[in-house]
Amino acid sequence: MTKYREYYNRMVEENKDAFDRFTQAHFEYSTNEDKYQEKFNQEGETILKIIHEWEDKLCKQSEKSGFGKYSGGLAEKFQEEVKSHFPLIDHIGIVVKKFSLKKLL
């Protein structure tokens, strides 16, 4: 197993409750974006912190072992692994402002 997949699996295992909640929110959001945007943003904020933390761990490990020039590609592969499981993760933080038209009297 590749290092980035190993880190991804460890990240999900160690944060199982958070990822379970996010998986549910991700599914609900995929069915109705307008209705579940706020919940998706809340759960997603926690998940993004966890993902960035583990991405940093992964890249620091490769930099310590003398492969610092490859850490950018490694981070990209890690993000691709995340997106393969959660394709809508880039939608976290979208602010939807609802507007209405007022009648002129």
Model confidence at 97: pLDDT above 80? no
Q: What's the CA gap between 71 and 91, in Å, rounded?
A: 25
Model confidence at 82: pLDDT above 80? yes
Q: What is the pTM of this model?
A: 0.81
Please answer whether residues 91 and 29 qualify as being in contact, where contact means their C-beta atoms are separated by less than 8 angstroms: yes
pLDDT digits (tens, 9 = 90+) for 8-58: 999 999 999 999 999 999 999 999 998 999 999 999 999 999 999 999 988
pLDDT digits (tens, 9 = 90+) for 49-60: 999 999 998 888
pLDDT bin (cut points 50, 70, 90) of residue 80 is: very high
Domain boundaries, the chain: 3-91
How crowded is residue 21: how many other Cβ atoms within 10 Å of its Cβ? 16
